[in-house]
Amino acid sequence: MSGEEQSGGWTERVVRLAAALGANPVRVRWKLQSLQERLRAGRRRVGSRKEQLEYRHQICPHCGALQDGSATVCLRCNQSLSSRPVRVVQQVGGLLGLTPTRLLMLLCVLGYAWVLATGESSSFFNLSGRDLVRWGGNAAWLTLDGGWWRLATYMLLHGGIWHIGFNLYALHIIGPLTEQIYGPRRLLLLFWVTGVLAGITSLGVGILASLTGGGVLGWVFPQGVSIGASGSIMGLTGVMAAWGHRSRTTVGLQIRNVMLRWALYTLIFGLLIRADNGAHFGGFVAGGLLGLLLDPQRFPARSPLARRLWDHAGPLGLALVLATALAIPATPWLTSVGGATAWLREVQVGRARVAERVVPACTLLEEGKLEQSLAVFARTIGVEARTPEQQVALVGELVEACDAFRQRRAASGPASAPVGAASAQAP
């Protein structure tokens, strides 16, 4: 008996069972047949992708000519061809249905899951700032003191379910559009480069706001731990806006207008929720400049060097994005050689050593005397905060120390005197 006859047999049995239970047999039969057709189509796609993986020849991405699998230069257009390892990676990605956009979305989800699974104070809907800093958030006092990789790892981390949901949706929209114009192989590099430049901008405006005492600049560009793919997404938005403006076609101008509106809405929304507007602004500007510079039709023909860079943008972008993803679980090891981590560890060790002597500092904090409380706390643990970034970190340690002390006192008995530092917030 053939597979289709067997399928028809169990289908009819299910239909008869559904009819006996009062369901519409015609509707049940139609749904089962539709499901079977989708399954057969899926098996055909997998078979086709397996054939592509085993195919020994290659097609030139520039002119579409069929080439031998070992060729490195196209015989028709004389353009460079991808190496065998690169083609294998691309074929495996095609077999899994993993486009560059989907790869970025998957890495964002994996980053969220990693922080959630390993975090000490995170929930499914909201990841704590402490856990995000631990796994690669762009925190100024750590990034500036040896944590340079945080300028990349922050873009794969998100603070909550709504945060990552919005960014995944935006990436789902802008990613395929960028792939269509610049090619799938170059999306990853554009995402990574604009994200790093967005992180640098966020860091710079945060330091400037701190040096100028906050004010309007501090309100527009709030300080804190920078996380999320929105800086890179704004970078891709800037790339597509610049491409549309330069193309001067009807479709290009429509894309430019949509991208500009999207960027404007994002910046306004960022002001309302006090988001990392420095990363948003920096990513969009960086993307716009790259979009003006990298004409997909003309840039590769400018020089042999430009052509090689253009041809190898895919492998380079893939390597950078995967290295960034791997740096997230490696962050504790990476920070172990950084000065900022050594300083922060010194603070934590000092706090643990004098846990019972933080009461004066916590009392001052409860009374609203933050500067005096910080001074007492620093003398108590024997650590000096020399920079504004270290002072910010010290405030967080003070609040956590007072909160831990309050919890210990509350657990020791009802007669304990509470310390109200748990309601204080670090800037």
Helix ranges (H only) for 21-99 are 25-54, 84-96
> What would the DSSP string read from start to end of 272-339?
HHT--HHHHHHHHHHHHHHHHH--TTTGGGS-HHHHHHHHTHHHHHHHHHHHHHHHTTTHHHHHTTSH
Which amino acid makes up residue 304? Answer: P
The helix-helix angle for 161-182 and 184-211 (nearest 10°) equals: 130
Cα–Cα distances in Å, from 124 out to 114, 157, 227, 240, 274?
Answer: 11, 14, 17, 34, 22
Cα of first residue to Cα of last residue in the chain, in angstroms, is: 72
Coil, helix or strand at residue 73? strand
Q: Is 280 a catalytic residue?
A: yes
Catalytic annotation, pick one of 82, 230, 232, 373? 230
Catalytic annotation, pick one of 158, 163, 245, 280? 280
378 is written with which tokens?
């620093």
Coil, helix or strand at residue 18? helix
Q: Is 83 a catalytic residue?
A: no
- Name the residues annotated as catalytic: 230, 280
